[in-house]
Structure 1
Amino acid sequence: MRLRGVKGSRNIEDRRRSGGGRGRAAGGIGGVGLIVVLAIGLFTGVDVTSLLEGADAPQTQSGQVSAQDEQAAQFTSSVLATTEQVWTKIFNEQLDRQYNPPVLVLYSGVTQSPCGGASGATGPFYCPADKKAYLDTSFFTTMSRQLGASGDFAAAYVIAHEVAHHVQNELGILPKVDQARRASSQNEANALTVRLELMADCLSGVWARNVQGLLERGDLEEALNAARMIGDDHLQRQAGRVPNPHTFTHGTSAQRARWFDTGYETGNVGRCDTFAAARL
């Protein structure tokens, strides 16, 4: 992805030097709204700790950040800036609305949010309570080495996916789905969550369509591969389990890739209405 010359976003909250360490988060994700199901693809009913063992920790000492982590942070800031430009334009042209971008929190190891605590093992997530996305940049290494989703555009897709949840929040979709989930059985709630996540994948594709001028050869395939690698069925197989559709919260590999591609091919937010789709 060609990001040289792209100025970083001002909507970055950097907590990496706060000395949180790399231990376990207190409490875990949850507590408010849909956060337990909004991380990029690790909440699939499997033991993700085993999948993440051996992931590198770029932080050197408490309060210090490695060159690798700093590069990842700069990359994240630039990608976030592209999402701000794209969604400001789309909200204006397709939705006749004003876009209010989220803040993205960078952290190392553990952090807290109004939606609960987080650690590197939880993956990136979006918290509707404070309208912030949370990211431990070491997750990019995890994606490449443990999940098989390498490449800079795969990492950009992760950021775009969490921003897509903010777009859903801005459009009032998150609270409506949250209300419906609370009134549903567990299986029905999971099915609603899958549709929510696939919509976010589609919206990520819409973003990708609008940054075509920054793409390099192979970038699109990196994003599609990342979508496949974090499908519920694939992650459950990786954990040694037989995939159980009733426990899916993000969709299969094929579904995630297909909906990202739908957003990319159409560039139209209206085509991302997974709740109206007869076939996912």
Structure 2
Amino acid sequence: MKWEDLRRSKNVQDRRGQSGGSGRNRGGSRSSMGGGLLNLLFLIPGKGKWVVLAVILFSVLGGGALGGFGDLLGGNNMNQPTNEIQVNNEAQQSETGVTDDEFNFVSSVLASTEDFWNESFSTENMTYDEPGMVIYEGGTATSGCGFGSSQAGPFYCPADANVYIDLSFWRDLSQQYGAPGDFAMAYVVAHEVGHHIQNEIGVMDEYNEVRQTLSETEANELNVRLELQADYFAGVWAKYAQEEGLLESGDINEALQAAFAVGDDTIQERATGRVVPDSFTHGSAEQRQAWFMRGFEYGDFEHGDTFNTYLENE
């Protein structure tokens, strides 16, 4: 990815070498739902206006919990009152070897997503509240989502609207999970920002409310659909990056390999030697790749209804 000349985001906090911290204010429910059906109200940009689309989930399939690496690239869905933080974008050398180039790269990717989503929202006379990003080592406190650990991988906290990343994950992604390349990490950042988009347009609030009415297996399948939509939004941003001339040969393949690496079936096969589809919570490798590519193809909101749409190649 051609990122060196991009601006750096001002919404990045450097907690490397620190322990603990808190997040900025975020909270409040946007709408309500009942009856066990998913009535996700989210804004779909049309030609010259925003259209409110009620997405009804008529049926959900079984699923199950999957810990460890299976929680990577997920949305922490707690939504509680939070405290203020001071934003600091000054990179420092990490004692664990995280370089300033890595820090600056994710800051530049975040800035690119800010430019894209600000433009998209502004075009429709909407305001985009940019997420923060916290770079940490080992573990760090959040405001409303508990204690973040590098063992859980990158995550988004809706309560404080921050993306949390331990950059050692970048090396793990390349060396342990076979997904090298800078655009593999760009996909990770864009996916977490995708959860922020869900938070901005009301999907996350609806998800949290409806999830409480479902059985465990139904809730897990609902979570799969939430994750796939974040993959779709990552693909939407990737299309913008291509149009801006930021992509290099092989970048999309790097993103697809990362999506493959964090598929539930890939993780289960690596961990146990067998695959249990009913236990999926984030989506199979094929699903994650398919929805990323769908976002990359269409570059819009209209085709991102993962809750009712099941792709043929999933």
Q: TM-score, normalised by structure 1?
A: 0.83
The residue that corresponds to 1:65 in the other structure is 94
**Identity rate, percent:** 44
Q: 1:13-69: CA deviations, max 9, x gaps?
A: 11113257xxxxxxxxxxxx9xxxxxxxxx9615549xxxxxxxxxxxxx9615643
The residue that corresponds to 2:251 in the other structure is 219
Q: Do structure 1's residue 251 and structure 2's residue 283 form an aligned pair?
A: yes
Q: Which runs of 5+ in 1 are unaligned?
A: 21-32, 34-42, 50-62
Distance 1:190 1:124, change over 3 A: same
Q: 1:110 aligns with which of 132, 139, 145?
A: 139
* Counterpart residue type for residue 45 of structure 1: L
* Counterpart residue type for residue 232 of structure 1: D
- How far 1:230 moved relative to its partner? 0.7
The residue that corresponds to 1:39 in the other structure is none
Distance of 1:127 and 1:243 partners within structure 2: 29
Q: Does the 8 Å CA contact 1:233/1:252 hold for their aligned counterparts?
A: yes
The residue that corresponds to 2:126 in the other structure is 97
1:231-242, aligned counterparts within 5 Å? 231-242=263-274
Distance of 2:127 and 2:68 partners within structure 1: 40
Q: Does the 8 Å CA contact 1:160/1:204 hold for their aligned counterparts?
A: yes
- How far 1:186 moved relative to its partner? 0.6
Distance 1:269 1:218, change over 3 A: same
1:2-17, aligned counterparts within 5 Å? 2-17=2-17
The residue that corresponds to 1:77 in the other structure is 107
Q: Do structure 1's residue 88 and structure 2's residue 124 form an aligned pair?
A: no
Q: Does the 8 Å CA contact 2:224/2:280 hold for their aligned counterparts?
A: yes
Other structure's SS at 1:92 match: helix
Distance of 1:11 and 1:194 partners within structure 2: 28
| Structure number, greater radius of gyration | 2
1:258-269, aligned counterparts within 5 Å? 258-269=290-301
Number of positions where the alignment pairs a residue of Structure 1 with one of Structure 2: 245
Q: 2:206 aligns with which of 176, 198, 202?
A: 176
Other structure's SS at 1:239 match: helix
Q: 1:185 aligns with which of 203, 215, 237?
A: 215
Q: Does the 8 Å CA contact 2:98/2:167 hold for their aligned counterparts?
A: no
Q: 1:208 aligns with which of 231, 238, 241?
A: 238
Distance 1:153 1:177, change over 3 A: same
Q: Does the 8 Å CA contact 2:98/2:168 hold for their aligned counterparts?
A: no
Q: 1:171-199: CA deviations, max 9, x gaps?
A: 00001011111110011001100001000
Q: TM-score, normalised by structure 2?
A: 0.74
Other structure's SS at 2:104 match: helix
Q: Does the 8 Å CA contact 1:44/1:235 hold for their aligned counterparts?
A: no
Q: Which moved further from structure 2: 175-184 or 256-265?
A: 175-184
Distance of 2:218 and 2:255 partners within structure 1: 29
Q: Which runs of 5+ in 2 are unaligned?
A: 21-28, 30-63, 71-91
Distance 1:117 1:4, change over 3 A: same
* Counterpart residue type for residue 162 of structure 2: K
* Counterpart residue type for residue 3 of structure 1: W
More helix by share: 1
CA RMSD after TM alignment:
2.0
Other structure's SS at 1:98 match: coil
* Counterpart residue type for residue 8 of structure 1: R
- How far 1:110 moved relative to its partner? 1.0
Q: 1:178-228: CA deviations, max 9, x gaps?
A: 111111001100110000100000000000000111000000110011111
The residue that corresponds to 1:57 in the other structure is none
Distance of 2:201 and 2:69 partners within structure 1: 31
Distance of 1:183 and 1:6 partners within structure 2: 44
Q: 1:93-123: CA deviations, max 9, x gaps?
A: 3x54211110000101111112011222110
More strand by share: 2
